Amino acid sequence: MTNRRSFLKKTGTTAAGLAFYGAAAEFTRAQGPGNRMRVAVMGLGRGLDLVRSSLEIANTEIVYLCDIDQERLARAQKVVAEKQKTPAKLEQDVRRVLEDSNLDALFIAAPNHWHAPATIMACNAGKHVYVEKPCSHNPWEGEMMVKAARKNKRFVQMGNQRRSWPGVIEAIEKVKSGAIGEVRFARCWYNNARGSIGRGQSVPVPAHINYALWEGPAPARPYKDNLVHYNWHWHWHWGNGELGNNGIHALDVARWGLGVNHPARVSCEGNRYHFYDDQETPDTSIAAYDFGKAGITWDCSSCLPRTSEKLPFVTFYGDAGTLENHGGGYRIFDIKGKQMEQHDGPGGEVGHITNFFDAIRNRHAKLNSDIEEGHISTQLSHLGNIAWRTHQTLTIDQTNGQIVKNATAQKLWKREYRKGWEPKVPA
Protein backbone atom coordinates (compact mmCIF):
# COMPACT_ATOMS: atom_id res chain seq x y z
CA MET A 1 0.00 0.00 0.00
CA THR A 2 1.03 3.59 -0.51
CA ASN A 3 2.43 5.27 2.59
CA ARG A 4 2.11 8.98 3.12
CA ARG A 5 5.50 9.05 4.79
CA SER A 6 7.07 7.89 1.51
CA PHE A 7 6.82 11.38 0.06
CA LEU A 8 8.92 14.43 0.74
CA LYS A 9 6.66 17.44 1.04
CA LYS A 10 8.53 19.65 -1.39
CA THR A 11 10.04 17.32 -3.98
CA GLY A 12 7.69 14.33 -3.88
CA THR A 13 10.76 12.06 -4.16
CA THR A 14 12.19 9.92 -1.37
CA ALA A 15 15.56 8.33 -0.91
CA ALA A 16 13.91 5.02 -1.79
CA GLY A 17 12.44 6.58 -4.90
CA LEU A 18 15.81 7.97 -5.94
CA ALA A 19 17.31 4.56 -5.36
CA PHE A 20 14.67 3.12 -7.68
CA TYR A 21 15.43 5.66 -10.39
CA GLY A 22 19.13 5.04 -10.00
CA ALA A 23 18.60 1.31 -10.44
CA ALA A 24 16.40 1.89 -13.48
CA ALA A 25 18.99 4.24 -14.97
CA GLU A 26 21.69 1.60 -14.52
CA PHE A 27 19.45 -0.89 -16.31
CA THR A 28 18.86 1.59 -19.12
CA ARG A 29 22.55 2.24 -19.60
CA ALA A 30 23.25 -1.46 -19.76
CA GLN A 31 20.25 -2.68 -21.74
CA GLY A 32 18.40 0.32 -23.02
CA PRO A 33 17.48 1.83 -26.37
CA GLY A 34 20.17 4.50 -26.73
CA ASN A 35 18.71 7.55 -28.41
CA ARG A 36 15.85 5.98 -30.35
CA MET A 37 12.64 5.27 -28.47
CA ARG A 38 10.69 2.34 -29.91
CA VAL A 39 7.13 2.64 -28.64
CA ALA A 40 3.66 1.13 -28.99
CA VAL A 41 0.39 2.99 -28.51
CA MET A 42 -2.67 1.15 -27.19
CA GLY A 43 -6.09 2.75 -27.70
CA LEU A 44 -6.26 4.97 -30.75
CA GLY A 45 -8.97 7.45 -29.83
CA ARG A 46 -7.18 9.61 -27.27
CA GLY A 47 -4.07 7.60 -28.20
CA LEU A 48 -3.98 9.17 -31.65
CA ASP A 49 -3.11 12.48 -29.96
CA LEU A 50 -0.26 10.69 -28.18
CA VAL A 51 0.90 9.28 -31.51
CA ARG A 52 1.02 12.73 -33.07
CA SER A 53 2.77 14.27 -30.07
CA SER A 54 5.34 11.47 -29.85
CA LEU A 55 6.20 11.88 -33.50
CA GLU A 56 7.10 15.51 -32.84
CA ILE A 57 9.93 14.32 -30.59
CA ALA A 58 13.24 13.45 -32.24
CA ASN A 59 14.42 9.84 -32.37
CA THR A 60 11.00 8.35 -31.73
CA GLU A 61 9.58 5.43 -33.69
CA ILE A 62 6.01 4.20 -33.43
CA VAL A 63 6.60 0.48 -33.80
CA TYR A 64 3.10 -0.79 -32.96
CA LEU A 65 -0.41 0.58 -33.13
CA CYS A 66 -2.81 -1.41 -30.97
CA ASP A 67 -6.60 -1.17 -30.92
CA ILE A 68 -9.59 -3.49 -30.94
CA ASP A 69 -11.13 -1.43 -33.78
CA GLN A 70 -9.82 -2.13 -37.30
CA GLU A 71 -11.05 1.24 -38.53
CA ARG A 72 -9.08 3.08 -35.87
CA LEU A 73 -5.99 1.04 -36.71
CA ALA A 74 -6.23 2.01 -40.36
CA ARG A 75 -6.72 5.69 -39.53
CA ALA A 76 -3.75 5.74 -37.17
CA GLN A 77 -1.57 3.91 -39.65
CA LYS A 78 -2.08 6.77 -42.14
CA VAL A 79 -1.11 9.33 -39.49
CA VAL A 80 2.14 7.49 -38.73
CA ALA A 81 2.92 7.05 -42.44
CA GLU A 82 2.91 10.82 -42.87
CA LYS A 83 5.68 11.23 -40.27
CA GLN A 84 7.94 8.17 -40.38
CA LYS A 85 9.29 5.98 -43.17
CA THR A 86 8.97 2.65 -41.38
CA PRO A 87 5.33 1.55 -41.23
CA ALA A 88 3.90 0.78 -37.82
CA LYS A 89 2.79 -2.78 -37.16
CA LEU A 90 -0.92 -3.23 -36.45
CA GLU A 91 -2.12 -5.41 -33.59
CA GLN A 92 -5.39 -5.83 -31.71
CA ASP A 93 -4.05 -7.74 -28.69
CA VAL A 94 -1.61 -5.84 -26.47
CA ARG A 95 -0.26 -9.14 -25.14
CA ARG A 96 1.22 -9.85 -28.57
CA VAL A 97 2.78 -6.38 -28.65
CA LEU A 98 4.51 -6.96 -25.33
CA GLU A 99 6.22 -10.09 -26.67
CA ASP A 100 8.59 -7.88 -28.70
CA SER A 101 11.84 -7.75 -26.72
CA ASN A 102 13.00 -4.67 -28.64
CA LEU A 103 10.05 -2.52 -27.57
CA ASP A 104 10.99 0.19 -25.08
CA ALA A 105 7.69 1.67 -23.95
CA LEU A 106 3.93 1.23 -24.10
CA PHE A 107 1.50 4.15 -24.19
CA ILE A 108 -1.92 3.21 -22.80
CA ALA A 109 -4.98 5.22 -23.81
CA ALA A 110 -7.51 2.39 -23.78
CA PRO A 111 -10.63 2.56 -21.53
CA ASN A 112 -10.04 2.90 -17.79
CA HIS A 113 -10.60 -0.77 -16.99
CA TRP A 114 -7.54 -1.56 -19.11
CA HIS A 115 -5.14 1.02 -17.64
CA ALA A 116 -3.78 -0.93 -14.69
CA PRO A 117 -3.84 -4.45 -16.16
CA ALA A 118 -1.97 -3.30 -19.29
CA THR A 119 0.51 -1.28 -17.21
CA ILE A 120 1.26 -4.23 -14.95
CA MET A 121 1.63 -6.62 -17.90
CA ALA A 122 3.97 -4.14 -19.60
CA CYS A 123 6.14 -3.68 -16.50
CA ASN A 124 6.32 -7.44 -16.05
CA ALA A 125 7.47 -7.66 -19.68
CA GLY A 126 10.25 -5.13 -19.05
CA LYS A 127 8.61 -2.13 -20.76
CA HIS A 128 8.33 1.43 -19.49
CA VAL A 129 4.79 2.82 -19.48
CA TYR A 130 2.98 6.08 -20.14
CA VAL A 131 -0.58 5.54 -18.91
CA GLU A 132 -3.45 7.97 -19.34
CA LYS A 133 -5.42 9.27 -16.40
CA PRO A 134 -6.99 7.96 -14.25
CA CYS A 135 -4.16 5.49 -13.84
CA SER A 136 -6.49 2.83 -12.43
CA HIS A 137 -10.09 1.70 -12.33
CA ASN A 138 -10.04 1.15 -8.54
CA PRO A 139 -7.69 1.85 -5.60
CA TRP A 140 -6.30 -1.70 -5.36
CA GLU A 141 -5.10 -1.49 -8.95
CA GLY A 142 -3.18 1.69 -8.21
CA GLU A 143 -1.34 -0.03 -5.39
CA MET A 144 -0.48 -2.91 -7.72
CA MET A 145 0.81 -0.50 -10.40
CA VAL A 146 3.25 1.07 -7.94
CA LYS A 147 4.36 -2.40 -6.89
CA ALA A 148 4.85 -3.50 -10.52
CA ALA A 149 6.87 -0.40 -11.41
CA ARG A 150 9.17 -0.80 -8.41
CA LYS A 151 9.53 -4.58 -8.68
CA ASN A 152 10.47 -4.38 -12.36
CA LYS A 153 12.45 -1.10 -12.07
CA ARG A 154 10.35 0.51 -14.79
CA PHE A 155 9.47 4.16 -15.34
CA VAL A 156 5.69 4.64 -15.28
CA GLN A 157 4.34 8.12 -16.00
CA MET A 158 0.66 9.07 -15.66
CA GLY A 159 -0.79 11.32 -18.36
CA ASN A 160 -1.71 14.26 -16.13
CA GLN A 161 0.22 16.53 -18.48
CA ARG A 162 -0.22 19.71 -16.43
CA ARG A 163 2.65 18.44 -14.30
CA SER A 164 4.88 19.37 -17.25
CA TRP A 165 3.27 22.67 -18.31
CA PRO A 166 5.70 25.53 -17.53
CA GLY A 167 2.95 27.95 -16.50
CA VAL A 168 1.34 25.48 -14.11
CA ILE A 169 4.71 24.52 -12.63
CA GLU A 170 5.39 28.22 -12.04
CA ALA A 171 1.94 28.66 -10.48
CA ILE A 172 2.56 25.81 -8.03
CA GLU A 173 5.94 27.28 -7.14
CA LYS A 174 4.19 30.59 -6.40
CA VAL A 175 1.66 28.87 -4.16
CA LYS A 176 4.36 27.01 -2.25
CA SER A 177 6.64 30.04 -1.93
CA GLY A 178 4.01 32.06 -0.08
CA ALA A 179 2.96 34.41 -2.88
CA ILE A 180 -0.62 34.36 -1.51
CA GLY A 181 0.26 33.64 2.10
CA GLU A 182 -0.53 30.41 3.86
CA VAL A 183 -2.83 28.40 1.60
CA ARG A 184 -5.71 26.63 3.31
CA PHE A 185 -8.10 25.63 0.54
CA ALA A 186 -8.38 24.84 -3.18
CA ARG A 187 -11.55 24.75 -5.28
CA CYS A 188 -11.73 22.76 -8.52
CA TRP A 189 -14.31 23.48 -11.19
CA TYR A 190 -15.59 21.59 -14.25
CA ASN A 191 -18.51 22.29 -16.57
CA ASN A 192 -19.69 20.86 -19.88
CA ALA A 193 -22.79 20.40 -22.03
CA ARG A 194 -22.88 16.63 -22.45
CA GLY A 195 -26.07 15.26 -23.95
CA SER A 196 -27.98 12.08 -23.26
CA ILE A 197 -26.55 8.71 -24.30
CA GLY A 198 -30.05 7.25 -24.56
CA ARG A 199 -30.99 3.67 -23.88
CA GLY A 200 -28.66 1.19 -25.53
CA GLN A 201 -29.97 -1.71 -27.53
CA SER A 202 -28.43 -5.17 -27.73
CA VAL A 203 -27.11 -5.55 -31.27
CA PRO A 204 -24.52 -7.73 -33.03
CA VAL A 205 -20.94 -6.56 -32.48
CA PRO A 206 -19.74 -4.62 -35.56
CA ALA A 207 -17.35 -6.65 -37.72
CA HIS A 208 -14.49 -4.17 -37.26
CA ILE A 209 -14.57 -4.39 -33.42
CA ASN A 210 -13.10 -7.16 -31.27
CA TYR A 211 -15.43 -6.74 -28.31
CA ALA A 212 -13.96 -9.65 -26.31
CA LEU A 213 -10.58 -7.89 -26.29
CA TRP A 214 -12.26 -4.55 -25.54
CA GLU A 215 -13.75 -6.13 -22.40
CA GLY A 216 -10.39 -7.72 -21.55
CA PRO A 217 -10.03 -7.80 -17.73
CA ALA A 218 -13.67 -6.82 -17.06
CA PRO A 219 -16.25 -9.59 -16.59
CA ALA A 220 -18.25 -10.09 -19.79
CA ARG A 221 -21.40 -8.10 -20.44
CA PRO A 222 -23.56 -7.97 -23.59
CA TYR A 223 -22.59 -5.51 -26.30
CA LYS A 224 -24.94 -2.58 -26.80
CA ASP A 225 -24.99 0.17 -29.37
CA ASN A 226 -24.28 3.15 -27.10
CA LEU A 227 -21.19 1.90 -25.27
CA VAL A 228 -18.12 1.87 -27.53
CA HIS A 229 -16.09 4.09 -27.91
CA TYR A 230 -16.88 6.72 -25.31
CA ASN A 231 -19.99 6.17 -23.21
CA TRP A 232 -18.36 3.45 -21.11
CA HIS A 233 -17.12 6.40 -19.02
CA TRP A 234 -20.55 6.63 -17.39
CA HIS A 235 -20.79 2.96 -16.34
CA TRP A 236 -19.06 1.82 -13.16
CA HIS A 237 -18.18 -1.53 -14.74
CA TRP A 238 -15.67 0.13 -17.09
CA GLY A 239 -15.34 3.79 -16.13
CA ASN A 240 -15.10 6.25 -13.26
CA GLY A 241 -17.57 8.97 -14.21
CA GLU A 242 -16.68 12.62 -14.55
CA LEU A 243 -14.68 12.58 -11.32
CA GLY A 244 -12.26 10.07 -12.87
CA ASN A 245 -12.51 11.54 -16.35
CA ASN A 246 -11.81 15.23 -15.71
CA GLY A 247 -11.80 15.63 -11.93
CA ILE A 248 -8.48 13.82 -11.70
CA HIS A 249 -6.72 16.64 -13.59
CA ALA A 250 -7.97 19.37 -11.26
CA LEU A 251 -7.59 17.35 -8.06
CA ASP A 252 -4.00 16.55 -9.02
CA VAL A 253 -3.15 20.24 -9.45
CA ALA A 254 -4.89 21.12 -6.17
CA ARG A 255 -3.15 18.37 -4.20
CA TRP A 256 0.18 19.32 -5.75
CA GLY A 257 -0.19 22.96 -4.76
CA LEU A 258 -1.37 22.25 -1.22
CA GLY A 259 1.38 19.70 -0.64
CA VAL A 260 -1.02 17.06 0.68
CA ASN A 261 -1.40 13.35 0.05
CA HIS A 262 -4.17 11.34 1.71
CA PRO A 263 -7.27 13.07 3.11
CA ALA A 264 -8.80 12.43 6.53
CA ARG A 265 -12.42 12.59 5.34
CA VAL A 266 -14.13 12.41 1.94
CA SER A 267 -17.73 13.12 0.96
CA CYS A 268 -19.52 13.49 -2.38
CA GLU A 269 -23.06 14.70 -2.99
CA GLY A 270 -25.07 15.08 -6.19
CA ASN A 271 -26.92 12.90 -8.67
CA ARG A 272 -28.04 12.34 -12.23
CA TYR A 273 -30.38 15.27 -12.73
CA HIS A 274 -30.47 15.87 -16.47
CA PHE A 275 -31.31 12.70 -18.39
CA TYR A 276 -33.02 9.40 -17.71
CA ASP A 277 -30.71 7.23 -19.76
CA ASP A 278 -28.10 4.49 -19.31
CA GLN A 279 -25.61 6.62 -17.40
CA GLU A 280 -24.91 5.43 -13.85
CA THR A 281 -22.52 8.16 -12.70
CA PRO A 282 -23.58 11.62 -11.43
CA ASP A 283 -23.75 14.52 -13.86
CA THR A 284 -23.80 17.13 -11.08
CA SER A 285 -21.82 16.73 -7.88
CA ILE A 286 -19.53 18.27 -5.30
CA ALA A 287 -16.76 16.17 -3.78
CA ALA A 288 -15.07 17.45 -0.61
CA TYR A 289 -11.71 16.39 0.81
CA ASP A 290 -10.54 17.33 4.31
CA PHE A 291 -6.79 16.99 4.88
CA GLY A 292 -6.83 18.48 8.36
CA LYS A 293 -4.57 21.44 7.60
CA ALA A 294 -6.29 22.22 4.28
CA GLY A 295 -9.21 21.21 2.09
CA ILE A 296 -10.21 20.67 -1.55
CA THR A 297 -13.58 20.66 -3.29
CA TRP A 298 -14.43 19.60 -6.82
CA ASP A 299 -17.60 21.12 -8.28
CA CYS A 300 -18.96 19.45 -11.43
CA SER A 301 -21.77 20.36 -13.82
CA SER A 302 -21.22 18.11 -16.83
CA CYS A 303 -24.61 18.47 -18.56
CA LEU A 304 -25.29 22.15 -17.89
CA PRO A 305 -22.42 24.49 -18.86
CA ARG A 306 -23.37 27.37 -16.52
CA THR A 307 -21.97 29.75 -19.12
CA SER A 308 -22.37 32.84 -16.94
CA GLU A 309 -19.90 31.44 -14.41
CA LYS A 310 -16.36 32.03 -15.66
CA LEU A 311 -14.67 30.07 -12.90
CA PRO A 312 -11.01 28.98 -12.90
CA PHE A 313 -10.04 25.35 -13.33
CA VAL A 314 -8.39 25.44 -9.88
CA THR A 315 -8.34 28.30 -7.36
CA PHE A 316 -5.98 28.40 -4.38
CA TYR A 317 -7.08 30.51 -1.41
CA GLY A 318 -4.39 31.97 0.85
CA ASP A 319 -4.36 34.35 3.78
CA ALA A 320 -2.92 37.09 1.55
CA GLY A 321 -4.82 36.46 -1.70
CA THR A 322 -5.82 33.93 -4.32
CA LEU A 323 -4.15 32.23 -7.28
CA GLU A 324 -6.29 31.05 -10.20
CA ASN A 325 -5.15 28.40 -12.65
CA HIS A 326 -6.56 28.99 -16.14
CA GLY A 327 -5.36 26.52 -18.78
CA GLY A 328 -1.57 26.72 -18.94
CA GLY A 329 -1.33 29.97 -16.98
CA TYR A 330 -2.38 31.70 -13.79
CA ARG A 331 -3.50 34.96 -12.21
CA ILE A 332 -2.77 36.24 -8.72
CA PHE A 333 -5.10 38.56 -6.76
CA ASP A 334 -4.50 40.27 -3.44
CA ILE A 335 -6.82 39.79 -0.49
CA LYS A 336 -9.06 42.65 -1.72
CA GLY A 337 -9.44 41.14 -5.19
CA LYS A 338 -7.00 43.36 -7.08
CA GLN A 339 -5.15 41.50 -9.83
CA MET A 340 -1.41 41.57 -9.17
CA GLU A 341 0.02 39.18 -11.76
CA GLN A 342 -1.01 37.30 -14.91
CA HIS A 343 1.01 34.71 -16.77
CA ASP A 344 0.02 32.55 -19.73
CA GLY A 345 1.67 29.36 -20.87
CA PRO A 346 1.43 26.54 -23.43
CA GLY A 347 -0.37 23.25 -22.89
CA GLY A 348 -0.28 19.98 -24.81
CA GLU A 349 1.47 16.73 -23.97
CA VAL A 350 4.77 16.98 -25.88
CA GLY A 351 6.60 18.23 -22.78
CA HIS A 352 5.15 15.46 -20.61
CA ILE A 353 6.13 12.77 -23.12
CA THR A 354 9.58 14.32 -23.51
CA ASN A 355 10.06 14.13 -19.75
CA PHE A 356 9.06 10.45 -19.89
CA PHE A 357 11.55 9.72 -22.69
CA ASP A 358 14.31 11.71 -20.99
CA ALA A 359 13.88 9.74 -17.79
CA ILE A 360 14.26 6.47 -19.70
CA ARG A 361 17.29 7.83 -21.56
CA ASN A 362 18.78 8.85 -18.19
CA ARG A 363 18.83 12.56 -18.92
CA HIS A 364 16.64 13.18 -15.87
CA ALA A 365 16.43 11.24 -12.62
CA LYS A 366 12.78 12.05 -11.97
CA LEU A 367 9.50 11.75 -13.81
CA ASN A 368 7.16 14.72 -13.50
CA SER A 369 4.32 12.36 -12.61
CA ASP A 370 5.70 9.07 -11.38
CA ILE A 371 3.04 6.40 -10.86
CA GLU A 372 3.18 6.75 -7.07
CA GLU A 373 2.18 10.41 -7.33
CA GLY A 374 -0.36 9.57 -10.04
CA HIS A 375 -1.87 6.84 -7.89
CA ILE A 376 -2.39 9.14 -4.89
CA SER A 377 -4.14 11.76 -7.06
CA THR A 378 -6.23 9.12 -8.81
CA GLN A 379 -7.21 7.70 -5.44
CA LEU A 380 -8.90 11.02 -4.61
CA SER A 381 -11.23 10.38 -7.55
CA HIS A 382 -11.86 6.82 -6.42
CA LEU A 383 -12.61 7.87 -2.85
CA GLY A 384 -15.04 10.55 -4.05
CA ASN A 385 -16.83 7.98 -6.19
CA ILE A 386 -16.95 5.46 -3.35
CA ALA A 387 -18.39 8.11 -1.03
CA TRP A 388 -21.09 8.91 -3.61
CA ARG A 389 -21.92 5.28 -4.35
CA THR A 390 -22.23 4.36 -0.65
CA HIS A 391 -23.96 7.60 0.41
CA GLN A 392 -21.44 7.96 3.22
CA THR A 393 -18.70 10.27 4.41
CA LEU A 394 -15.53 8.19 4.41
CA THR A 395 -12.91 8.26 7.15
CA ILE A 396 -9.42 7.70 5.75
CA ASP A 397 -6.16 6.65 7.40
CA GLN A 398 -3.87 9.50 6.36
CA THR A 399 -0.74 7.38 6.69
CA ASN A 400 -1.73 5.02 3.89
CA GLY A 401 -4.96 6.17 2.23
CA GLN A 402 -7.00 3.17 3.38
CA ILE A 403 -10.70 3.45 4.24
CA VAL A 404 -11.21 3.04 7.99
CA LYS A 405 -13.78 0.63 9.49
CA ASN A 406 -16.29 0.67 6.64
CA ALA A 407 -17.05 -2.74 5.18
CA THR A 408 -19.56 -1.36 2.67
CA ALA A 409 -17.07 1.10 1.18
CA GLN A 410 -14.23 -1.41 1.32
CA LYS A 411 -16.12 -3.66 -1.09
CA LEU A 412 -15.44 -1.07 -3.80
CA TRP A 413 -11.68 -1.00 -3.15
CA LYS A 414 -11.14 -3.74 -5.74
CA ARG A 415 -13.17 -5.08 -8.63
CA GLU A 416 -14.00 -8.56 -9.88
CA TYR A 417 -11.92 -9.67 -12.88
CA ARG A 418 -12.67 -11.99 -15.73
CA LYS A 419 -11.15 -15.41 -15.04
CA GLY A 420 -7.43 -15.37 -15.78
CA TRP A 421 -7.20 -11.58 -16.09
CA GLU A 422 -6.55 -10.36 -12.54
CA PRO A 423 -3.32 -8.29 -12.56
CA LYS A 424 -0.42 -9.97 -10.82
CA VAL A 425 3.09 -8.88 -9.91
CA PRO A 426 5.54 -11.80 -9.61
CA ALA A 427 7.07 -12.26 -6.16
Q: What is the CATH number of the domain that holds 107?
A: 3.40.50.720
Say yes or no: 132 and 182 in one domain: no
Count Cα atoms within 13 angstroms, Cβ side, for 380: 34
Task: Look at residue 34 in the predicted model and tell me its pLDDT.
Answer: 56
Q: What share of the chain is helix, strand, coil (3-state, %, to 5)?
A: 35, 20, 45
For the stretch 183-231, pLDDT in tens is 999 999 999 999 999 999 999 999 999 999 999 999 999 999 999 999 9
How confident is the prediction for the chain on average, in pLDDT?
Answer: 92
Query: How does strand 183-191 pair with strand 156-158?
Result: unpaired
250-286 burial by CB neighbour count: b if 16+ within 10 A, else e? bbbbbbbbbbbbbbbbbbbebebebeebbbebbbbbb
Say yes or no: 255 and 386 in one domain: yes
Examine residue 223 and state whether it is found in any structural domain, yes or no.
no
Cα–Cα distance for residue pair 311/300, rounded to 1 Å: 12
For the stretch 139-192, pLDDT in tens is 999 999 999 999 999 999 999 999 999 999 999 999 999 999 999 999 999 999
Say yes or no: 123 and 233 in one domain: no
Task: Look at residue 364 in the predicted model and tell me its pLDDT.
Answer: 58
Say yes or no: 148 and 275 in one domain: no
Asked if the model's pLDDT at residue 128 lies above 60, the reply is: yes
Asked if the model's pLDDT at residue 17 lies above 50, the reply is: no
DSSP-derived secondary structure for 86-118: SPPEEES-HHHHTT-TT--EEEE-S-HHHHHHH
Percent of the chain with pLDDT over 90: 90
Task: Look at residue 35 in the predicted model and tell me its pLDDT.
Answer: 83
Task: Look at residue 362 in the predicted model and tell me its pLDDT.
Answer: 83
Cα–Cα distance for residue pair 194/214, rounded to 1 Å: 24
Say yes or no: 339 and 394 in one domain: yes
288-323 burial by CB neighbour count: b if 16+ within 10 A, else e? bbbbeebbbbbbbbbbeeeeeeeebbbbbbbeebbb
Burial class (CB in 10 A: 0-12, 13-18, 19+), 52: middle
Q: Which residues pair with 267 in a beta bridge?
A: 288
Examine residue 374 and state whether it is found in any structural domain, yes or no.
no
Say yes or no: 312 and 357 in one domain: no
CATH code (residue 390): 3.30.360.10
Asked if the model's pLDDT at residue 298 lies above 50, the reply is: yes
Say yes or no: 113 and 186 in one domain: no
Say yes or no: 182 and 236 in one domain: yes
Examine residue 121 and state whether it is found in any structural domain, yes or no.
yes
- Strand, coil or helix: 285: strand
Examine residue 210 and state whether it is found in any structural domain, yes or no.
no
Say yes or no: 140 and 118 in one domain: yes
Say yes or no: 181 and 299 in one domain: yes
- Strand, coil or helix: 2: coil
Examine residue 285 and state whether it is found in any structural domain, yes or no.
yes
Examine residue 422 and state whether it is found in any structural domain, yes or no.
no
Domain containing 30: what range? Answer: 4-163+350-366
Examine residue 423 and state whether it is found in any structural domain, yes or no.
no
Say yes or no: 266 and 387 in one domain: yes
For the stretch 363-404, pLDDT in tens is 656 999 999 999 999 999 999 999 999 999 999 999 999 999
For the stretch 70-90, pLDDT in tens is 999 999 999 999 999 999 999
Say yes or no: 135 and 181 in one domain: no
Examine residue 203 and state whether it is found in any structural domain, yes or no.
no
Instruction: Give the predicted TM-score (pTM) of the model.
Output: 0.92
Total of domains in the chain:
2
Percent of the chain with pLDDT over 70: 91
